[in-house]
Amino acid sequence: MTGHPLCVVGLGIGRPFLSPPAAAAVAEADVLVGGRRQLACFPDHGGVRIPIVGPLGLVCEAMAAALGEGRRVTVLADGDPLFFGIGRLLAERFGPDRLVFFPGVTAVAAAAARLGRPWHDLPAVSLHGRDDMLPLFAALCRTEAVAVHTDAAHTPAGIAAALLARGGDAFAMTVFEDMGLPGERLWRLTLAEAVGLSFSPLNLLLIERVRPVAVPLALGLDDEALLRLDRVFTKKPIRAVALAALAPRAGDVVWDVGAGTGAVALEASLLCAGGPVFAVERDPGRLALLAENIRLTGALTVTPVGGEAPDGLDGLADPDRIFVGGGLTVRADLLPYLCRRLRPGGRIVVNSVLFGTLQHTLAAFAAAGLRVEVLQVNAATAAPLAGDLRLCAENPVTVITAAKEAPRG
- In this prediction the pTM is 0.89
Sign of CA dihedral 154, 158, 163, 166: negative
For 233-295, the DSSP string reads S--HHHHHHHHHHH---TT--EEEET-TT-HHHHHHHHHTTTS-EEEEE--HHHHHHHHHHHH
Sign of CA dihedral 243, 246, 247, 252: negative
| Span 280-302, average pLDDT | 95
- Hey, what domains does the chain have and what are their CATH numbers? 6-105 (3.40.1010.10), 108-209 (3.30.950.10), 236-403 (3.40.50.150)
pLDDT digits 0-9 by tens, 132-182: 899 999 999 999 999 999 999 999 999 999 999 998 899 999 999 999 999
Paired with 37 in beta bridges are: none
Alpha-carbon gap, residue 246 to 324, rounded angstroms: 11
Q: How distant is the alpha carbon of residue 113 from its chain centre? A: 27
Please check the confidence at residue 25 and state whether its pLDDT lies above 60.
Answer: yes
pLDDT digits 0-9 by tens, 81-90: 999 999 999 9
1-15, 285-299, 359-373, 389-403: least confident range:
1-15
Q: Are 339 and 350 in contact (CB under 8 A)?
A: no
Mean per-residue pLDDT of the chain: 93
Which of 65, 66, 56 lies closest to 35 in space, CA to CA? Answer: 56
